[in-house]
Structure 1
Amino acid sequence: MTTNFIGLDTAKTEKLASALNELLSNYQIFYMNVRGYHWNIKGDNFFELHAKFEELYDDLLLKIDEIAERVLTLGHRPAHAYSTYIEKSDVPERKDVSDGKEAVNNIVESFAKLISKQRDLLALAGEADDEGTVSLMSDYISQQEKTVWMYRSYLGL
């Protein structure tokens, strides 16, 4: 077994980096969607949702940077082209959404995809003894599960 500079199996880190780049792609598309919701929101809950969406995209931006830096820490290169993000993302690009409920529904759906991918990454990182990625994914999952509950409550679900 060949190990990288942080003592992890290089073949396993290659798989992890690929999965992290896929997650990064999903985060980037989700981030731009939420920016669009923030900019274009209209209606009764404008002030509440405008502020909530800003809070969300600020958090997504931090996670984007953490994921990219984790790829680098594993000895690989993070994806950094929107063409790659669109190609690899399961979160669909959303355009011209101004309705609050539609935006929140899209957010809940996007989080479901992220959480699923992060659970897969959690298992993959565990198999690779990559405690750094395990910790990151575990933190994201627990935080986002609560966020999904709150957004679903807003929707009355």
Structure 2
Amino acid sequence: MQIDIGINETNRTAIADGLGRVLADSYALYLKTHNFHWNVTGPMFQTLHTMFEEQYTELAMAVDEIAERIRSLGAFAPASFSAFSELTSIKEERGVPAAKDMIAQLVEGHETVIKTARSLYALCNSSDDDATADLLTARIQVHEKTAWMLRSLLEG
């Protein structure tokens, strides 16, 4: 059935493609955060273990919301490790870094998601896609706050 939501097919496809990059970055960050939750050690173990769990739980909900928005636009959401690895800008961590390095990597990951999400605003605005713009705004707010909280652990 034809989709008629007031956004032309070309723009819906471009927005969905951009959301696919946001989804891939978010999923890569989810995996990294979950990895760090499992593997963190040191004097801040309990604090970081709990904080990372809260963060990956939030990200798990977010990836579902982003994927469902892609589907609402009439596209299929990327949903494989290979697709995510092609689309993400977040570097995979294959080792077990020290706790402070974990925190720094997560700050960088949240900032990456923010920049990827921000890159879609012009297209959303020119396409009158307020729903995607609202989703991106909410995601950016979460990632900015999380990056700030993580960054504060590295200060002093």
- Common fold, TM-score beyond 0.5? yes
CA distance in 2, matches of 1:143, 1:22: 17
**Equivalent residue, structure 1, for 2:67:** 68
Counterparts of 1:137-152 in structure 2, within 5 Å, are 137-152=136-151
Other structure's SS at 1:50 match:
helix
CA distance in 2, matches of 1:144, 1:22: 15
How far apart are residue 28 of structure 1 and its match?
1.3
**Equivalent residue, structure 1, for 2:104:** 105
CA distance in 1, matches of 2:43, 2:101: 14
What do residues 100-144 of structure 1 show as CA deviations (whole Å, max 9, x unaligned)?
111110001011111011111122211111111000011111222
How far apart are residue 40 of structure 1 and its match?
0.5
Amino acid at match of 2:37: H
CA distance in 1, matches of 2:99, 2:111: 18
Query: TM-score scaled by structure 2?
Result: 0.94
C-alpha contact 2:111 2:143 (8 A) present in aligned 1 = no
CA distance in 2, matches of 1:5, 1:51: 44
Counterparts of 1:64-103 in structure 2, within 5 Å, are 64-103=63-102
For the aligned residue pairs, the C-alpha RMSD in angstroms reads 1.4
Give aligned-pair identity as a percent: 33
How far apart are residue 98 of structure 1 and its match?
4.5
CA distance in 1, matches of 2:106, 2:130: 29
CA distance in 1, matches of 2:61, 2:121: 19
How far apart are residue 5 of structure 1 and its match?
3.0
Counterparts of 1:1-157 in structure 2, within 5 Å, are 4-156=3-155
Gaps of 5+ in 1: none
Q: What stretches of structure 1 move > 6 A for 4+ residues in a row?
A: none
Amino acid at match of 2:49: H
Amino acid at match of 1:7: G
C-alpha contact 1:36 1:96 (8 A) present in aligned 2 = no
CA distance in 1, matches of 2:36, 2:140: 23
Query: TM-score scaled by structure 1?
Result: 0.93
CA distance in 2, matches of 1:54, 1:35: 7
Gaps of 5+ in 2: none
C-alpha contact 1:122 1:138 (8 A) present in aligned 2 = no
What do residues 48-71 of structure 1 show as CA deviations (whole Å, max 9, x unaligned)?
000000000001111100110000
Amino acid at match of 1:75: G
